[in-house]
Amino acid sequence: MQTDFTNIFKQWCSSYNSNSQLIRVISEEWFSTQMFCPSCTNNRLEALPNNSKAADFICNVCNETYQLKSKKLTLGRKVIDGHYDTMRTAIIEGTAPNFCFMTYDLSNLSITNLLLVPRFFINLPIIEKRKPLSITARRAGWTGCNILYQEISDRGKLFVIEKQKVNSVENVRIMWNKIRFLQDYADYNARSWITDILYCIDLLKKEYFNLHEMYQFEAYLATRHPLNNNIRPKIRQQLQVLRDRGIIDFVGRGEYQVR
C-alpha cells in the first residue's frame, strides 16, 4: 500500500476548481486502487454508483460495503456523514457500511491516517443528529448527521495507516477476525450492549480490572439502554460473553484481564 497520491493529484488537479471536489475524486481513486477487504481475502474494493445510499465501495466477494470519509490533517471529534434517518435505519437493521476515516496532507500529497471502523461497532448514540437545512436551502428540511467516532471502543478502531505508517494486510485482517463475532448478533440491542461494555473497559485504561470498577458505569449504561432495569446483571452477563469470545480473561474473584 502506497500513502503517496502525487500521481493521482497530477492527473486531476487541472480538472476541478473546487478543492473539495478535487479531494473527493483523489481520495476515492486512491482508495479504490489501494484498499483491500479486511473481511475476506479480496485485495480490491469496487466503487459503487454515485449517490448509493450509505455506502461508497463494495467487496464483490463477501459483499461488505464501505463508506469513505476524508479530512485534512486531523479527524477532530466528529465526522460529517449523510442523511440521519437513512443511517439510523441502517444501524438498527444491521445494514450500515463499514466506515473508513482518512486524513491527508496536501503539503506532501500523502495519506496520513486511514482508520477502519467495522459496521458492527456503529451504534445509535455515536450518530449525532444535525439541524435541518433552512427553508431557503435547496434541500430545505434535509437532516444530516455527524459520527462521533471518538466514542467508539478502541477494539473497533483498526488502523490501516497510522501517522503515515502502513499496517500489514495480515495484521488488519487478524484484528478484524478477533471482533467479527459481533456480526453474528442480528439484534441491534444485543450487539450494542457488547460494544458499550467494550467502551467502558477502554475507559478504565487498565490491563486488570474488577467487577466493582465496571459497576461505576451503571448510570452511563442506563442512559444508553433506558429500557433495561437490571444493569448490573447485564454487565456481568456481557463480561461473560467477552470472556467466552477470548477478549478478556476471568482471573478469579471478580477480577478480569484484557487480552
In 3D space, the residue among 66, 80, 167, 164 whose CA is nearest the CA of residue 117 turns out to be: 66
The model's pLDDT over 77-99, given as tens digits with 9 standing for 90+, comes to 889 999 999 999 999 998 999 99
Residue 126: DSSP 8-state: G
In 3D space, the residue among 68, 87, 60 whose CA is nearest the CA of residue 25 turns out to be: 68
**Cβ burial, residue 6 (10 Å; 0-12/13-18/19+):** exposed
The CATH architecture assigned to 6-177 reads: 3-Layer(aba) Sandwich (3.40)
Claim: this prediction has a pTM higher than 0.85: yes
In this prediction, residue 55 carries a pLDDT of: 87
Look up residue 243 and give its three cell numbers. 470472556
CA-to-CA distance for 224 and 115, rounded, in angstroms? 25
CA-to-CA distance for 198 and 192, rounded, in angstroms? 10
Look up residue 91 and give its three cell numbers. 444501524
CB of 144 within 8 A of CB of 83? yes
230-242 as b/e, with b when 16 or more CB fall inside 10 Å?
ebeebbeebbebb
In this prediction, residue 186 carries a pLDDT of: 87
Angle at the Cα of 103 (from 14 to 173), degrees rounded to 5?
A: 120
Look up residue 176 and give its three cell numbers. 478484524
In this prediction, residue 53 carries a pLDDT of: 77
CA-to-CA distance for 98 and 37, rounded, in angstroms? 10
The domain spans of the chain are 6-177, 188-258
Q: Profile the chain (259 residues) by mean pLDDT over runs of 10 residues.
A: 94 89 93 97 94 88 96 88 92 93 94 96 94 91 93 95 97 96 92 97 97 98 95 98 96 94
Quote the strand ranges of the chain, DSSP E. 46-47, 57-58, 65-72, 79-83, 98-105, 110-117, 127-129, 144-147, 158-162, 165-166, 208-210, 248-252, 255-258
What kind of fold does domain 188-258 have according to CATH? Arc Repressor Mutant, subunit A (1.10.10)
In 3D space, the residue among 122, 125, 105 whose CA is nearest the CA of residue 113 turns out to be: 105
